[in-house]
Structure 1
Amino acid sequence: MAEIVIKNVAKSFGSFQALHSIDLTIRDQEFMVLLGASGCGKTTLLRIIAGLEQASQGEVWIGGRRVDTLPPRGRGIAMVFQNYAVFPHLTVFENIAFGLRMKKLPQAEIDRRVNRTAELMQIGQLLKRYSGQLSGGQRQRVAVARALAMEPDVILMDEPLSNLDALLRLEMRAELKGVLAESKTTTIYVTHDQVEAMSLADRISVMNAGRIVQAATPIEVYRNPATRFVGSFIGNPPMNFLPAAKNGSGKWRVAGVSFDGPDASRDILEFAIRPEDLDIGPGGLAATVRLVEPLGAHILLSCKVGGAPFRAVVDSELNVSPGDTLSLVPKPGRARWFDPETGAAI
């Protein structure tokens, strides 16, 4: 069992508070992604779990054992870095075997683990090549294979695909999820790329300013953001937001149109809708088209609604031009509502 429990972890660097009382449980064999913009604290949290950084307060438990008082080598973890960290003067075989030799394992066991993980990462044919002769994608496969060969309880990954080109990232994402599921390893993966997070994670922990603002499945984070920040950060293009004024019990006026909404005590809320959750039909929001961007199967429209910027994703067969006015109707059940002061979902 390699359940990870983070209890009340905080970290400050002088007067700067990088992490604020983080509580998080990662289940055994779960693929957890820490997602957030640069500076949100996700890498700091990862380094505290790894033992590369000392928390200012709190505890880290792995597999029922408190590890924040242990050195990195005593925590049963392996780490994959953004810059690969492979040795260019060693062969692929020796790179993968490096940690195993440090543990003084028998040669037969080293051979077994190296060959097994190399085949998993589809680099078995490269074992005799020097790592300095490999492409970036191949070097990253070596780094992952080296981590898997240690048969750790936990693998920590710090933006491991960010240096790869877009097509290679897509291929590596699919392979990585399958390989880690097969290895039955608990994984914590740090990224700022929301597409990467959505495609890889069993659950996503969205971080902002040193706090976890929502930890849930990718579809839950996408469909039911806990805060305005999550709604604006997740999704490309992000959610649209418009002011909403109470117009009777459970009725709200948004850009001149009345919608059913929450029976809240406040008189002003924020109405939110994702660009792809809009249809064209009567009685909707009046949107003036400013920019038309063809995206293959869809068109992204940048509009103005009630004087505010607004985006809609529509079918590519729609004949629309800048200056046109459309009526955009939210799909049933897709609108979300937020408190404009706290940013919390209603």
Structure 2
Amino acid sequence: MAEIEIKGVAKRFGAFTALHQIDLTITNQEFMVLLGASGCGKTTLLRIIAGLETPSEGEVWIGGRRVDHLPPRQRGIAMVFQNYAVFPHLTVYENIAFGLRMQKKPQSEVDHRVKRTAELMHIEQLLQRYSGQLSGGQRQRVAVARALAMEPDVILMDEPLSNLDALLRLEMRAELKGVLAHSKTTAIYVTHDQVEAMSLADRIAVMHQGRIVQAASPVEVYRNPAARFVGSFIGNPPMNFLPATKSGEERFIVAGSMLKGPKASGDIEFAIRPEDMDIGPGGIPATVRVVEPLGAHTLITTDVEGKIFRVVLDSNAEAKTGDMLSLVPRADRIRWFDPQSTSAIQ
């Protein structure tokens, strides 16, 4: 079992607090993605789990054992870094075998593990090559194979695909998810790329300013953001937000349109995904600013009371700059937020 428990972890660098009382449980064999913008604390949290940083407060448990006082080599983890860290003077075989040699494993076991992980990563034909003879994608596969060959309880990955081009990233994402499911390893993966997070994760922990704002499945995070930041950060294009003025019991005026909302004592904020709008009578009046045909659908940027408001419509939708549209939100897709706390209103 390799369940990870992070209990009240905080990290301070002088007067700056990088992490604020983080509590997070990652279940055995779960693929957890830490997602957030640069500087949000995700890499700091990963390094604390790895033992490369010491928490200012709190505890880290792996497999029912407290490890925050242990060096990295005693934590049962392996790491894959952004820059691959593949040794140029060693062959692919010796790169994968490196950690096993350090553990003084017998040659027969080294052979078995290297060949098995090389096959998993589809690089068995490259075992006698040096890293200078490899492409970026092949070097990344070597780095992952080296980590998996250690048969770690936990594998930690810090933006491992960020240096690859778009097509290679797509290929490696699919491969990585399959390989980790096969190896039955608990994985924590750090990224700022929301597409990567949505496609890989069993759960996503969205981080902002040193805090975990929401930890849930990709679908839950996308459909039911727990805070305004989550809705604005996840989605391309992100959620639309408009002020909602209270006008009676569970009634709100949004850009001149009356909508049914939650129980609230005052004004709140209306939010909706761009794809959850239709054109119809009695909707929110919007002026078309930009029309972008994107093949299967059309992205239309509009102006609603001086605010940018984006909608995704069917590819045969007819609209041109200057047109007036009446946008009707799908009632079951509307989300509401408290403008003071920025938390979702249920």
Indicate the TM-score class for this superposition, using the shorter chain for normalisation. over 0.9
State the shift of 1:282 in Å.
1.1
State the partner residue of 1:49.
49
SS at match of 1:195: helix
List alignment gaps of at least 5 residues for structure 2.
Answer: none
Residues 193-212 of structure 1 correspond to what in structure 2 (within 5 A)? Answer: 193-212=193-212
Percent identical among aligned pairs is: 78
| 1:55-93 deviation line (CA, Å, top 9, x unaligned) | 111100000000011000000000000000000111100
Aligned 8 A contact 1:87 1:132 in 2: no
**Deviation of residue 315 (structure 1)?**
1.1
- Indicate whether 1:238 and 2:245 are aligned: no
Q: Within 1, Cα distance between the matches of 2:72 and 2:154?
A: 12
- Is the counterpart of residue 308 in structure 1 residue 268 in structure 2? no
Alignment-derived partner of residue 8 in structure 1: 8
Worse-superposed segment, 145-154 or 285-294: 285-294
Give the aligned partner of residue 269 of structure 2: 270
Map Cα deviations across residues 303-332 of structure 1 (whole Å, 9 max, x no partner). 101221100011111121111111111123
Partner Cα distance (2:248, 2:223) in 1: 26
* Between 317-326 and 62-71, the greater mean CA deviation after superposition: 317-326
List aligned pairs for 1:330-341, cutoff 5 A: 330-341=329-340
- Which whole-Å deviations, capped at 9, do the CAs of 1:208-242 have from their partners, x for residues lacking one? 00000100001111111000011101111000000
Identify the range of structure 1 (111-120 vs 295-304) with the bigger mean alpha-carbon deviation: 295-304
Structure 2 Cα separation of the partners of residues 78 and 325 of structure 1: 56
SS of match in other structure, 1:242: strand
RMSD after superposition:
0.6
How is 1:117-266 mapped onto 2 (pairs within 5 angstroms)? 117-265=117-265
1:279 and 2:278 matched: yes
- SS of match in other structure, 2:331: coil
Task: Give, in whole Å, the separation in 2 of the partners of 1:171 and 1:308.
Answer: 38
Cα distance per residue 1:112-139 (max 9 Å; x no partner): 0000000000101111111121111000
Q: Identify the residue that residue 295 of structure 1 maps to in structure 2.
A: 294
Cα distance between partner residues in 2 of 1:88 and 1:328: 58
Counterparts of 1:127 and 1:284 in 2: how far apart (Å)? Answer: 62
Q: Tell me the residue number matched to 2:325.
A: 326
CA distance in 2, matches of 1:135, 1:208: 34
Which blocks of at least 5 consecutive residues in structure 1 are unaligned?
Answer: none
- Is residue 11–residue 17 contact of structure 1 (8 Å, CA) maintained in 2? yes
Residue 333 of structure 1 aligns to a residue whose secondary structure is: helix
Output the amino acid matched with 2:283: G
CA–CA distance in 1 between the matches of 2:107 and 2:298?
A: 58
C-alpha distance in 1 between matches for 2:306 and 2:285: 10
State TM-score, norm by structure 2.
0.99
Measured against aligned partners, the alpha-carbon deviations of 1:280-302 in whole angstroms (never above 9, x if no partner) come to 11111111000111211111111
Q: Is the 8 A contact 1:4 1:63 kept in 2?
A: yes
Task: Tell me the number of residue pairs that the alignment of Structure 1 and Structure 2 aligns.
Answer: 345
Given residue 46 of structure 2, which amino acid in structure 1 is its aligned partner?
A: L
C-alpha contact 1:240 1:311 (8 A) present in aligned 2: yes
For 2:24 and 2:344, the matched residues in 1 are separated by 21
Distance of 1:76 and 1:286 partners within structure 2? 58
- The amino acid that maps onto 2:312 is V
State the distance in 2 between where 1:332 and 1:55 align.
Answer: 45
Runs of 4+ with deviation above 4 angstroms: none
